[in-house]
Homo-oligomer: A and B are copies of this chain.
Amino acid sequence: MGLRVTDLSCARGGLPLLEGVSFSLEAGQALVLRGPNGCGKTTLLRTVAGLQPALAGQVDLPPEAIAYAAHADGIKSTLSVAENLAFWAAIYGTSSFEEALDRMNLRALAGRAAQNLSAGQKRRLGLARLLVTGRPLWVLDEPTVSLDTASVALFGDVVRRHLQAGGMALIATHIDLGLPEAEILDLASYKARLPEIGAGTFDEAFL
């Protein structure tokens, strides 16, 4: 089972941003998306995750196989680290979050309320959630923001193990993740060109 994205166009705020994006991922592969600020990485990831409809083209992996992690981590600040993870584990029907705690180096923080974590600790908790989803494709939007060097390396290991176990990862980032085996796709070249239309002629989509 792999992800195949064919000729995808996506729009944000009613305006096409990217067009004709095609790529594919097989089990065990990772793809890093790059591109300048505002080129549409977040938009593309949300489209792949099924959170917004595509303008054209298709994504042929059902959303049920995808775990999405955005800037906002979905962390409840009044629940403890363990409670937060336990909740997501229950929702995804996977039984244990203990391993996730260990692998993201959160064991010492397990009983602490999430609101008392530092920026980087919060981020680690957000990433630990991926481990309890049990889903093959991880769609990650700038996952290493705020992480220190040691934590970036830790995260790189976690991704690598996920890939070795037959998983896939689609990652948008500006900085180096320490994943040399990942392919890189620069989105700058897929910038949408608006169809040229003379004044006074506008069709269904008003463009």
Contact = CB atoms under 8 A, between A and B. Distances in A.
B117 A147 contact: no
Contacts of A174: 120, 146-149
Complex copy number for this chain? 2
The dominant DSSP class at the A interface is loop
Nearest to A149: B174
Contacts of A42: 118-119
Contacts of A121: 37-38
Interface size class of A (residues with CB under 8 A): 20 to 34
A147 B174 CA distance: 7
A124 interface: yes
A4 interface: no
Interface of A: 13, 35-38, 42, 71, 116-121, 123-124, 142, 145-151, 174-175
Nearest to A109: B38
A117 B151 contact: no
